[in-house]
Amino acid sequence: MIKFAGTHVDYGEFYADAMQKNGHEFYRHINSETLHHQLRIYRKFYPEIITELEAVARAVGLPSEFVLYEDIAASIDHWRDRLRPQNHGCTIFAIHEGENTFVGRNYDWIPAAREFYGTYQVDLKGANRYFGFSDESVWYRHTGKRLRKPYFVDAVNDKGLYIGLTFSNIDAWKYGLLPTHFIRYIAEKCATTRQALNVFAKMPGAIPKNFLIADAKGDLAVVEHATRRYAILRPNREGVLIHTNHCLSPELIKYDRVRARHPGTDTFLRYAETEFLVNQQLPGFQFTDLWRILRQSHYIYNDDTIWSLALELNSRRFNIYHDTAMGQKQQKFGFDS
């Protein structure tokens, strides 16, 4: 567990120190047009990120535009140029039954990420405390130590609000917040699902993703975000909400390229298995049922699963599971009193 407490400037210095220790290969080029548009959006909606990155630049002795481009703009150019056409997995589900709100999450990515994924406990001045879970921003052949940096794809905060993402196969892009910054913004500033949905209503998104949001009172939603449009999904009558990597909203299905890109995709199998296993435990779903679904399933748990989260949001009961040479390891975590 990596712990941080301080201001956004302090976080930038913390971030810089970690990357310098890894010998991080900072960018030495920029796309001025992309950076210009992104800076305009971040200054309006999330200036704290700029504050952090300017602190990074000062700490490492680089012009700020290189650090800013790397963190808030380069991903758009990569996505636009289709530099990362890989098949991505991930399964998230949430259940609200009675007084209880459960979240189960398997993050599927390259097996090499098991060696270095990061769990962060972040306490920024003036913001909610939260746990963030990072794949360290690596991909396939690009897993070296010099390329790693925090990139949160899950977060749960001290208000009992969870947000996590799954990959989308919609081809679209727009100037806007990056997915990891949506995760951070909502974890830092929101306490409820309604507040999180208001964030998506007012802020533009740069890259398509699916976000599942759940709060301690049992308000559940998925945002299927296609940059220029998005759809909100709600749980079924049993209080269950599931998402994998194919579109479910009728208005976005026509833009989904998952079948064309990956004819052998297991997204539909993972969705169906999740639905079947959750329904087997209803009524009377228990926290321990999350383990069986996340770690003893045939498709949800697979060779690409890096970590699993089991969360009971109303009681702040949190577990993370990951694989080691000795087998599956469970770790409990929670906020300090």
Architecture of domain 91-115+165-175+190-333: 4-Layer Sandwich (3.60)
- Mean pLDDT along residues 48-64: 97
Q: What is the average pLDDT across 268-296?
A: 97
pLDDT at 337 over 90: no
In order of 28, 144, 337, the CA distances from 317 in angstroms are 44, 34, 14
pLDDT (tens digit, 9 = 90+) per residue, 64-74? Answer: 999 999 999 99
Mean pLDDT, residues 148-158 taken together: 92
Mean pLDDT lowest for which of 97-106, 233-242, 255-264, 290-299?
A: 255-264
User: What integer pLDDT is reported at residue 326 of this predicted model?
Assistant: 77
Mean pLDDT (whole number) for 264-292:
96
Q: Considering the chain, what percentage of its residues have pLDDT values greater than 70?
A: 96
The pLDDT of residue 169 is 92
The predicted model gives 39-47 an average pLDDT of: 98
pLDDT at 128: 98
Model confidence at 90, in pLDDT bands (50, 70, 90)? very high
Domain layout of the chain by residue ranges: 2-80, 91-115+165-175+190-333
The predicted pLDDT at position 137 comes to 76
- pLDDT band, residue 110 (cuts 50/70/90): confident
Residue 47, pLDDT > 80, answer: yes
pLDDT of residue 174: 95
